[in-house]
Amino acid sequence: MRAAIEAARRARGRTSPNPWVGAALVRDGAVVAVGATAPYGGPHAEAAALANTDARGATLYTTLEPCVPFEGKRTPPCSEAIIAAGVARVVVGILDPHVGGQGAARLRAAGVEVEVGDGASEITVLLRPYLRFRASRRPYVIAKFAVSLDGMVGAPQAGVRWLTGAAAVERVHQDRSWVDAILVGSGTVLADDPALTARPGGTAADRQPVRVVVDSRGRCPADARVFGADARTIVATAAASPRAWKESLGQRGVTILELEEDATGINLDQLLAALGQRGVVSLIAEGGPTVHAALLAGGLVDEVHAYIAPKVLGQGIPLFPAGTLPSPVEFRDPVVEPLAPDVLVRGYTGTWSP
């Protein structure tokens, strides 16, 4: 199962809206083949591990329950492939809510021995975004921000715009390279003009997350870097925002989503539902205080990544000014990662659990 989990980890973020799954075929105690889910429409992990290998009488370890036939399916069902290959035993990490136990049942009915639960807690953490997406049809949301010890996200008037060092920046690029989308508000585009691309190790990743900007009134200039050709961009705006602005973004290849407004701005519930429909399984919100407060107050955040810089600014833009959150947010299962000179504190919010 260790080999299957590592294969799944390498496929993370490359398979949406499918889950990232790993599989390992074992004979006489040795791993003879490993497979991982290919990008959408390509072979699943089990099929990849079984390809060109004599699997008769062997054991197949798979991180997620094998799939069964369903309408509209683009790939042959893995449960049938496993039966046809003559696999004797299948060890499944966790059941797939989309398959609902039918994969395990199909295998057992065909005389294959099935065990469920090996590595389940580690696999559940790895697949959290997919499990969230399956449960709600909307992306798993990670709220990411950098903050000083006195709770500021920056102090532009004192010339402080970037708070964290190289290790934290690299960690952000690693995360950007597996998520499907990055969300910011118009305030961040206007203040920082970020490109919002994934550049792990300083090099543009081969697969870029889609950038999502909430801008209800058409304030972001059409020549902002976030609208450049290095990645796709979606702008969520109100129907009433200027037509000429929408047209100039359209000419740059930007997709315009017209959504309803609520007290916070663009209706973020609607936005997440629309992104889910487009197959966005995971999203990092990298906005400023306004977007983070709206997401947290709306109960829309699943995980928080707080990068804490060892600085006291004594002035600047506070992350959560008093009164912006209706109730305290406590992280569950917090993890502290030292990224010298900074520290990353991450944890889950209480809104959803797999």
Ligand X SMILES: NC(=O)c1ccc[n+]([C@@H]2O[C@H](COP(=O)([O-])OP(=O)(O)OC[C@H]3O[C@@H](n4cnc5c(N)ncnc54)[C@H](OP(=O)(O)O)[C@@H]3O)[C@@H](O)[C@H]2O)c1
Candidate list 46, 65, 286, 303, residue with the active-site label: 46
Number of Cα atoms under 13 Å in the Cβ half of residue 45 = 33
The first and second tokens of residue 275, run together, are 């992104």
- Among the listed residues 12, 49, 287, 352, the single contact to ligand X using CB under 6 A: 287
Encode burial over 46-67: b for 16+ CB neighbours within 10 A, e otherwise. bbbbbeeeebeebbbbbbbbbb
The answer to whether 317 contacts ligand X (rule: CB under 6 A) is yes
The answer to whether 66 contacts ligand X (rule: CB under 6 A) is no
> Residue with CB nearest ligand X?
187
- Among the listed residues 65, 96, 192, 302, the single contact to ligand X using CB under 6 A: 192
- Among the listed residues 61, 130, 133, 145, the single contact to ligand X using CB under 6 A: 145
The answer to whether 161 contacts ligand X (rule: CB under 6 A) is yes
How many CB atoms are closer than 10 A to CB 251? 10
The answer to whether 289 contacts ligand X (rule: CB under 6 A) is yes
- Among the listed residues 37, 177, 186, 233, the single contact to ligand X using CB under 6 A: 186
Secondary structure of 194-227 in HEC code, one letter for each residue: CCCCCCHHHCCCCCCCEEEEECCCCCCCCCCHHH
Catalytic residue list contains 46: yes
- What's 80's DSSP letter? H
- Among the listed residues 63, 102, 197, 216, the single contact to ligand X using CB under 6 A: 216
Q: Whole-number minimum distance, CB 297 to ligand X, in Å?
A: 9
Within positions 68 to 97, which residues make up the interface with ligand X, using CB under 6 A?
none
- Among the listed residues 89, 134, 173, 219, the single contact to ligand X using CB under 6 A: 219
The first and second tokens of residue 184, run together, are 């910011």
The answer to whether 129 contacts ligand X (rule: CB under 6 A) is no
Q: Which is nearer to ligand X, 119 or 289 (CB)?
A: 289
Q: Whole-number minimum distance, CB 316 to ligand X, in Å?
A: 8
The answer to whether 168 contacts ligand X (rule: CB under 6 A) is no
Candidates 126-134, 215-223, 245-253, 330-338: pick the segment binding ligand X (CB under 6 A).
Answer: 215-223
276: left (phi over 0), alpha (psi -120 to 50) or beta: alpha
Count of chain residues binding ligand X (CB under 6 A): 31
What is the DSSP annotation of 87-154?
--EEEEEE--TTTTTHHHHHHHHTT-EEEE-TTHHHHHHHTHHHHHHHHHSS-EEEEEEEEETTSEEE
The answer to whether 264 contacts ligand X (rule: CB under 6 A) is yes
Enclosing H/E stretch for 191: helix 186-192
The first and second tokens of residue 305, run together, are 């990544």
The answer to whether 291 contacts ligand X (rule: CB under 6 A) is yes
- What's 158's DSSP letter? G
SS3 293: helix
The answer to whether 173 contacts ligand X (rule: CB under 6 A) is no
The first and second tokens of residue 147, run together, are 């903050």
Q: Which is nearer to ligand X, 23 or 313 (CB)?
A: 313
The answer to whether 265 contacts ligand X (rule: CB under 6 A) is yes
Q: Whole-number minimum distance, CB 91 to ligand X, in Å?
A: 42
The answer to whether 205 contacts ligand X (rule: CB under 6 A) is no
Q: Rounded to whole angstroms, how far apart are CA atoms 293 and 227?
A: 25
- Among the listed residues 35, 187, 209, 276, the single contact to ligand X using CB under 6 A: 187
Cβ pair 296, 322 in contact under 8 A: no
- Among the listed residues 100, 156, 250, 341, the single contact to ligand X using CB under 6 A: 156
Residues with catalytic function: 46
Which residues in this chain contact ligand X in the complex, by CB under 6 A? 145-146, 153-154, 156, 161, 163, 184-188, 191-192, 214-217, 219, 264-266, 268, 286-291, 294, 317
